[in-house]
Amino acid sequence: MMDYTGHACPRCNKPFTPADDIVVCPECGAPYHRSCYEAEGHCLFEGMHSPEFAWKPAPSEAAPVACPRCGAGNAESAVFCSHCGARLQEPEDADEDARGENGPYDYSARYAGGQDARQGADGPYGGMDEEGFFGPFGQLFTPGETLCGIPVQTWAAFLGASSPYYLLNFKRMELTGRKLSVSFSAFVLGPIYFFYRKMYKWGFVFAALSLLLDLPSLLAILIESGSAVTGALTLASIEPLLNIAWVLSWVMMVVRSMVALWLYRDTALGRIQAIQQRWQDAGSQRAALNALGGTSIGAAIAYGVISSLLLGLVVLRLAGPGLYSMYASYLL
């Protein structure tokens, strides 16, 4: 049996020790801590399994560099810890001229030639340049790196806009096992964010929840306008319902923002795997990744327009004779 001592577990990125309980993927030979494999439930390279694919340790894994902050093992060439992000060493070109005027993350000199210097607006890897760098996130990704068994370049081609932001979050999820994060866009935009990112199923789910929590407010409008459908209901009688709906709306906004990135990762992963299974050649895969991934401003606008029109039609249809005077009093 191969001695995996010193090599890094693909899930936690910590080097194996002689005392570790190690399990090996029967398909590709990738080693894992038993607890890591059981927590993940499958091989991280599952999407790449084929007769031609076999896990191979990186040449520098045999002598990992220990992180001064968390102790995790890293490749000798690594500048930042892949587990916690702490700096391990200064890059070789860390002199002032190479680092740029804006500090160690200034890659303006690298991209001084514009789009042509990066082989096109998106680069050969869909947002990465020919060396596998994501602009200021240069040392955190390499062309051969994988997330959930999918090459980073493939992720970038699918994610399109803002792929460095999402991949950094996905990498953190994979390394730490924590699925919850904060998406300010999902908090503010609500269902529009999910439609924009082509997560249509979750867009409809959160749209339905938002509509359900808006019903007490709609009922209040109908009562105040003197609608016949509200019967003897008064604003005072539904005030507890309004308060409950208001609190639940805030809870939903927080929960939505915390799970949005996790839902996006799982949605994107499923679609990428489906694309890889359906299209075998690289050209067709890349075209499908670009077409089925990315964003849809049209879907976001369509949701906003349709939902607003439907709500307006319901109010106009069910409201009482005092609707216009009610709105006029609010405006004046």
Domains in the chain, number:
2
Asked whether residue 137 is domain-assigned, the answer is no
Q: Which of 89, 108, 142 is the last residue of a domain?
A: 89
- Is there a single domain that holds both residue 83 and residue 195? no
Q: Which domain holds residue 74?
A: 1-89
Asked whether residue 284 is domain-assigned, the answer is yes
Write out pLDDT tens, residues 83-101: 556 666 654 444 444 344 4
Write out pLDDT tens, residues 105-126: 333 333 333 333 333 334 333 4
CB atoms within 10 A of CB 112: 8
Q: Which of 89, 111, 127 is the last residue of a domain?
A: 89
Q: What percent of the chain has pLDDT over 90?
A: 28
Write out pLDDT tens, residues 258-303: 999 999 999 999 999 999 888 877 788 888 888 889 899 999 999 9
Q: Report which DSSP code applies to 213.
A: H
3-state secondary structure of 33: strand
The C-alpha torsion from 244 through 249 and 255 to 260, rounded to 10°, is 160
Tally: H helices and E strands in the chain = 11, 6
Residue 79 has phi, psi (to 5 degrees) of: -95, -35
d(CA 16, CA 18): 7
Q: Report which DSSP code applies to 135.
A: G
**N-terminal to C-terminal alpha carbon distance within the chain:** 81
Q: For the chain, what percentages of helix, strand and coil (3-state, to nearest 5) are there? A: 50, 5, 45
pLDDT at 247 over 90: yes
CB atoms within 10 A of CB 54: 14
207 vs 171: which has the higher pLDDT: 207
Residue type, 306: I
Assign residue 279 a region: left if phi > 0, alpha if psi is -120 to 50, beta otherwise?
A: beta
Mean pLDDT computed over 186-213: 94
